[in-house]
Amino acid sequence: MNVLETSLRIAIDLTPLRAGGENGGAKHLVLALLKQFQVLAPNYYFLILTAPWNHLELAQFDGNNTERLLISDLETKNSKGYVLSSFSRLIQKIVNKSNFLSNLNNKIVAKSNFFSKLIQKIADKLFPSISPLKKRNINLLFCPFSAPTYAEKDIPLVAIVYDLQHLDYPFFFASQEKQHRTKFLIDLLQKSKKIICISDFTRQSLITHFQASQQQLSVVSISIHNRLNKTSESTTIELCRRLGLENRKYAFYPANYWQHKNHRVLLTAYGIYKRQFPHQSLDLVFTGELKHEENQLKEIVSAMGLSGNVHFLGFLNEDELASVWQNSECLVFPSLYEGFGIPVLESMRFGKPVLSSNAGSLPEVAGDAAIYFDPRKPHEIALCLTKISSDPLLFNELIEKGYQRLKLFNDEEMSRKYLDIFETEAVNLPTQTLN
């Protein structure tokens, strides 16, 4: 199948996208996919659903085959979660707000709910309102942030699922949050024609926890490590000087300060390592945007007497991030849970050894191009830091294995797999008249 010769009309729900790094690696994936889609499928039409907080940021994608649609007011939905027609919404408001109904007892209300649903169905049949998606003859709705907010019965839905952390590490979540996430995934499985999993680990998790159909699930690895352009030596030196990393050798951990990222255990491990190599040890560099959590970690670092060796850089732009990568010695990745692990491939691309947790999808991504540790055991992490600091043969071996491993991940191939899925799952809708 040649996607370049196919004409489809795809809506992409980007309303959950936030400024900065709040979306984590998902945002990097989504923006990289959009850029590739525009190049690989010039005959496609892409409708980007935006929100007030990201509409201007996404203007960069405006083009001959792409337009933005600002969603400023969430649509009312029926009991099955589908967007209601305008007439149906009016009927529902009348039923819901009626003083007469509000004064009835529970038994009668239950009956009225039955009749309101019946009215709903009749209204949808007799007075169908053409939704913004159907007005534009949309063949498929793509939800890269998972949420099927604008699902419609007659438009196939394809979504990405990143992980099921709340089921594997439930103690990181409040009870209500766990229930919400579980209900959300059940809803998504019911509404989606296809769910794209970012790793086989995520696919297996959906099967284990929800008995999901294997036919409904596809695995497409994340291949966006080329999104960062290598900076010149002079730029790298200047940017690292501004960030306080001039003449510093350091292990790099680019991750937000979520609990499962395991920064506290890494700091414990770093303290052990630092005692073993007080004068020749690597520094430790963090990036992340959650200020409250960052401040908590800074207090721990201060109490350990390591403020001069642990650097908190905050959220970095792409040039800054590329420069920090280029100036680093290695990646240390102690995460307790990952659906994929984008920094692993970024480290390999920049020619840096990978020290990785053996949890989640990370062994699937890094293969034999990493040295692994149990992320719950600080002494194992400290030992890996010691090895990479003192064994030049291991250092160079990991770099070479990283380059070889990286050949398995290609950004264009990734994007083509998405487009192939879109074409397979899309439907041909009758032409609607644009108002």
Distances (CA, A) of 245 to 87, 267, 283, 287: 61, 19, 9, 13
Which CATH code, of 2.60.40.10, 3.40.50.2000, 3.90.105.10, 3.30.70.270, is assigned to 9-75+131-223+413-425?
3.40.50.2000
pLDDT greater than 50 at residue 78: no
Residue 100: what pLDDT? 37
Query: Which residue ranges make up each domain of the chain?
Result: 9-75+131-223+413-425, 233-408
Contact 225, 348 (CB under 8 A): yes
Domain 233-408 fold is: Rossmann fold (3.40.50)
Confidence band, pLDDT 50/70/90 cuts, at residue 102: very low
- What's the token pair of residue 153? 């019965």
Residue 111 has pLDDT above 80, yes or no: no
Q: What is the pLDDT of residue 289?
A: 82
If you average pLDDT over every residue of the chain, what do you get? 87
Cα of first residue to Cα of last residue in the chain, in angstroms, is: 34
Predicted pLDDT of residue 290: 83
Look at residue 260 and tell me whether its pLDDT is greater than 70. yes
377 pLDDT more than 50? yes
- Please give the residue that has the higher pLDDT: either 115 or 174: 174
pLDDT digits (tens, 9 = 90+) for 279-294: 878 999 999 888 899 9
Checking if the pLDDT of 167 tops 70, the result is yes
The arithmetic mean of pLDDT across residues 20-43, rounded, is 91
**Can you give the pLDDT at residue 101?**
38
CA distance 324 to 326: 5
**Contacts of 385 by beta carbon, 8 Å cutoff, 6+ apart:** 251, 269, 270, 273, 281, 282, 332, 355
Banded pLDDT at 123 (limits 50, 70, 90): low
- Residue 6 pLDDT class (50, 70, 90 cuts): low
Looking at residues 115-135, what average pLDDT do you find?
65
What does the chain come to in residues? 435
Mean pLDDT of 293-306: 96
State the pLDDT at residue 409: 96
Asked if residues 410 and 223 have their Cβ atoms less than 8 Å apart, the reply is yes
Give pLDDT, residue 20: 80
What's the pTM value of the predicted model, to 2 decimals?
0.81
Q: Is 233-408 the same fold as 9-75+131-223+413-425?
A: yes
Give the pLDDT confidence of 386-409 residue by residue, as tens digits. 999 999 999 999 999 999 999 999
Q: DSSP letters of 293-318?
A: HHHHHHHHHHHHT-TTTEEE--S--H
- The arithmetic mean of pLDDT across residues 410-426, rounded, is 96
Mean pLDDT of 218-226: 95
Average pLDDT over residues 410-434: 82
Residues 377-382: contacts with CB under 8 Å, at least 24 apart: 378/265, 378/266, 378/268, 378/269, 378/272, 379/269, 379/272, 380/269, 381/265, 381/266, 381/269, 381/270, 381/273, 381/332, 381/334, 381/355, 382/269, 382/270, 382/272, 382/273, 382/276
pLDDT the model gives residue 281: 82
- DSSP character string of 150-180: T-BTTB-EEEEE---HHHHSGGGS-HHHHHH
pLDDT given at position 75: 45
